[in-house]
Chains A and B, each alone.
Chain A
């Protein structure tokens, strides 16, 4: 009985270990096998003073999302290693509790500065507090931490909203709008909506733009759900919708599928953000009007460089490019806000030049020469 259990346990362990090794072999960018390294690896990193290169601990909230692994991590890693520093990652797998443990682990592995992509902005506070009081500076990466001593590095999300609304408003200054928002309770969904309000608020008030209740949150930013929402909006208003503000590219895909079923794709302007390859292709095809592109590599680089400066003893408000930022919680944090770029069919060349997308992917199904870049 005991033996059998032992065998089962051992084989499970072997299996888990094998999974880790193949995982890191397959994709070199993930060689550190985040969670494993954070929880079980002995602390090999030097824990001495900052003179011998800086150890930067990075706590990811969920490494499974395409973006972090593909764009953000390599950029942070490159920036840190270029200056002779060491990059130590940990993955919280969407668990606020795991993230707390990860941060303790990163500190015990000798991290001299922490970059944190938070899972839960409130739950993380005690860990951030304890790190900072131990003299370890903290960078809130992409998502806000309400702590005046932390540096906030992000894209300007309200500006993303403004850019989307600006493009759509330019195309449809008067008419019936629908607004497809992201996850209820994700602060970014409301930042974006606030950006919309700044651009179209006056026109809504004067009656030029009518929303009339065609505005909804979408659980988990789910594209299939966005498609159903759009179908119901079209049914309820007998197809009389002139423009759609969709907060990201995934949901824009669902919206455009619903429009296509009514033969309205390409006739009703739709917005999006993230620079999804499929969405950029839609911009080239003309079915999506604007895709606000946030070059995650810039964000990673900015965070990596800021981390090195913090390591060298620079104060949070003296970091290059940092400015005070009023948070929704009423705090003033020092922050680096990067500007996103709205991609329309006028400037598709930008994403090509940046190597973000290949010409084949961008121009699939597009008549050659019909838009710049294809």
Chain B
């Protein structure tokens, strides 16, 4: 999170005054991120009260984490695209086409067309790789037209939205493809598609170690180059807060046990008798969430620690200056679209595995959720501003609203009204705050 603040223009910081804001700035925490976490907390507590304590149960939070994963994965890429002053409207259709292709591969092409049969050990990985390559190729093709052809991204990807969705129908007359390969389905989560108790703890502790090491390393670097350092208490507070948040999340996912029916099936398969008090198998982190976290970490490194990411932000901040400064802007822009295509394919794998099938409407209108998540997460349409953790949090906020309202049994038109209002209100508020702090 601290890395993220590094990419924001420091001009906006202004003279420090003795306020909460300046305090947060002195320990270099992204105020917008803190604001979002606060907003999320309000949403969660509000839904918990309204639903009579149903929202903040391990089961619902676990569901929420899985439901948010697809949009979160794509929002990280969309953030970079918007930062570079472009837009990608085709991600839903790319998701549809890559998801449909992967499903066709494992349900029809590999088993029947090539006559290799169902349930081969390599089916899932072949399908996944083909999907990712296809996603990269589609993204690269669009990116090429945008970057080298000079056609506005809005137009190219609007065309893509129509073309790729049309292709889905052409592949197999638009039939539903189901069921998928049993190994591939594990990518979609569910109790058997989760990593279990021990692995979750191991990951949590590893994350803690990484947080602490990052803080130590960053402090050392700052001392070495004679940069201003955070006060010592702030370092401790950050480390403690980060670790506690991670471990709390692990406790939550581990206190959601396998559903009784599945646990019974498991006990039967093991040949062990059903225990008196029931069998409690902790579920742990679901695979889609693991994938989303992995993607977010990779993307953070890419966006803030690699030349590519810095170029994207430079282009978004001032395209002419970036070009004159020796950045290969065209190549960079094209690469952002390649990346977006790959991320769409990753989401496609998760989404189709979760549904255990591919339908022609797979990913329809998800581009709107993805763009909304990136924007709620503080990505600016005027370019140059945005963070990966923000985009992921934006996705969680969107999904929290949707699942919370479903839990309260709010019908879908009202849900749309609420989500739309929140989107505009969040960005509006952000703009006002930013304008004020810039003065």
B190 x A260 contact (CB < 8 A): yes
A276 x B261 contact (CB < 8 A): no
Chain B interface residue count, Cβ-Cβ cutoff 8 angstroms: 49
Other 4 A-B pairs with CB < 8 A, given A69-B173, A364-B179: A223-B361, A228-B67, A236-B409, A239-B260
B300 at interface, CB cutoff 8 A: no
A262 at interface, CB cutoff 8 A: yes
A64 (CB) vs chain B CBs: closest residue: B169
Contact with B along A338-349 (1 / 0, CB 8 A): 000000000000
Q: For B166, B359, B365, which residue has the most chain A Cβ atoms within 10 angstroms?
A: B359
B403 at interface, CB cutoff 8 A: yes
Which of B18-26, B52-60, B236-244, B271-279 has 4 or more CB atoms under 8 Å from chain A?
Answer: B52-60
| Contact among B166, B361, B412 for A216, CB-based, below 8 A | B412
A66 x B264 contact (CB < 8 A): no
Cα A232 to Cα B265 in complex, Å, equals 23
B183 to chain A, nearest CB (A): 15
Which residues on the B side are within 8 Å of A249 (C-beta)? 176
A7 at interface, CB cutoff 8 A: no
A222 x B361 contact (CB < 8 A): yes
Cα A223 to Cα B411 in complex, Å, equals 16
A263 x B360 contact (CB < 8 A): no
A251 (CB) vs chain B CBs: closest residue: B359
User: With A64-B169, A228-B406, A235-B59 in contact, do A253 and B355 touch (Cβ < 8 Å)?
Assistant: yes
Cα A364 to Cα B111 in complex, Å, equals 11
Cα A231 to Cα B286 in complex, Å, equals 15
B292 at interface, CB cutoff 8 A: no
Cα A231 to Cα B175 in complex, Å, equals 25
Which residues on the B side are within 8 Å of A221 (C-beta)? 361
B364 x A220 contact (CB < 8 A): yes
A203-242 residues at the B interface, CB under 8 angstroms = 213-225, 227-229, 231-233, 235-236, 239
B390 at interface, CB cutoff 8 A: no
B416 (CB) vs chain A CBs: closest residue: A219
User: With A216-B412, A217-B411, A235-B57 in contact, do A223 and B355 touch (Cβ < 8 Å)?
Assistant: yes
Cα A228 to Cα B169 in complex, Å, equals 24
A278 at interface, CB cutoff 8 A: yes
User: With A227-B354, A229-B406, A262-B259 in contact, do A217 and B57 touch (Cβ < 8 Å)?
Assistant: no
B282 at interface, CB cutoff 8 A: no
A261 at interface, CB cutoff 8 A: yes
Which residues on the B side are within 8 Å of A227 (C-beta)? 354-355
B260 x A70 contact (CB < 8 A): no
Which residues on the A side are within 8 Å of B179 (C-beta)? 278, 281, 364-365
User: With A235-B57, A262-B261, A263-B262 in contact, do A64 and B407 touch (Cβ < 8 Å)?
Assistant: no
Which residues on the A side are within 8 Å of B411 (C-beta)? 184, 216-217
| Contact among A224, A232, A262 for B262, CB-based, below 8 A | A262
Q: List 8 A-B contacts (CB under 8 A).
A: A66-B174, A219-B412, A222-B361, A232-B406, A278-B357, A281-B179, A365-B118, A365-B179
B255 at interface, CB cutoff 8 A: no
Which residues on the A side are within 8 Å of B175 (C-beta)? 66, 276-278
Which residues on the B side are within 8 Å of A254 (C-beta)? 355
| Contact among A217, A253, A263 for B178, CB-based, below 8 A | A253
A231 x B67 contact (CB < 8 A): yes
Which residues on the B side are within 8 Å of A222 (C-beta)? 361, 364
A58-112 residues at the B interface, CB under 8 angstroms = 64-66, 69-70
User: With A227-B355, A228-B403, A260-B190 in contact, do A184 and B412 touch (Cβ < 8 Å)?
Assistant: yes
Contact with A along B33-76 (1 / 0, CB 8 A): 00000000000000000010010010110010001000000000
Which residues on the B side are within 8 Å of A276 (C-beta)? 175-176
Cα A10 to Cα B191 in complex, Å, equals 56
A262-280 residues at the B interface, CB under 8 angstroms = 262-264, 267, 276-279
Cα A215 to Cα B410 in complex, Å, equals 10
B402 at interface, CB cutoff 8 A: yes
A256 to chain B, nearest CB (A): 8
B190 x A184 contact (CB < 8 A): no
A257 x B356 contact (CB < 8 A): yes
A278 x B261 contact (CB < 8 A): no
Contact with A along B160-195 (1 / 0, CB 8 A): 000000100110011111110000000001110000
Cα A279 to Cα B177 in complex, Å, equals 10
| Contact among B166, B178, B264, B361 for A281, CB-based, below 8 A | B178
Which residues on the B side are within 8 Å of A224 (C-beta)? 351, 354-355, 359, 361-362
Interface residues, chain A, with chain B CB atoms under 8 Å away: 26, 64-66, 69-70, 184, 213-225, 227-229, 231-233, 235-236, 239, 249-250, 253-254, 257, 260-264, 267, 276-279, 281-282, 360, 364-365
B165 to chain A, nearest CB (A): 8
B407 x A250 contact (CB < 8 A): no
A292 to chain B, nearest CB (A): 16
B356 to chain A, nearest CB (A): 5
User: With A250-B176, A365-B179 in contact, do A214 and B57 touch (Cβ < 8 Å)?
Assistant: no
Q: List the 6 closest A-B pairs by CB distance, nearest first.
A: A263-B261, A66-B174, A263-B262, A278-B178, A232-B406, A262-B259
B359 x A223 contact (CB < 8 A): yes
Which residues on the B side are within 8 Å of A277 (C-beta)? 175-176
A67 to chain B, nearest CB (A): 8
A43 to chain B, nearest CB (A): 28
A351 to chain B, nearest CB (A): 14
Cα A229 to Cα B360 in complex, Å, equals 19
Cα A184 to Cα B112 in complex, Å, equals 39
Which residues on the A side are within 8 Å of B416 (C-beta)? 219
Cα A213 to Cα B355 in complex, Å, equals 24
Cα A121 to Cα B356 in complex, Å, equals 35
A262 (CB) vs chain B CBs: closest residue: B259
B14 at interface, CB cutoff 8 A: no
B176 x A279 contact (CB < 8 A): yes
| Contact among B173, B354, B413 for A217, CB-based, below 8 A | B413
Cα A244 to Cα B360 in complex, Å, equals 23
B412-433 residues at the A interface, CB under 8 angstroms = 412-413, 416
A65 x B174 contact (CB < 8 A): yes
Cα A236 to Cα B57 in complex, Å, equals 10
B361 x A250 contact (CB < 8 A): yes
B52 (CB) vs chain A CBs: closest residue: A236
Cα A239 to Cα B57 in complex, Å, equals 14
Cα A244 to Cα B96 in complex, Å, equals 27
Which residues on the B side are within 8 Å of A253 (C-beta)? 176, 178, 355-357, 359
Q: For B51, B261, B263, which residue has the most chain A Cβ atoms within 10 angstroms?
A: B261
Which residues on the B side are within 8 Å of A260 (C-beta)? 190, 356
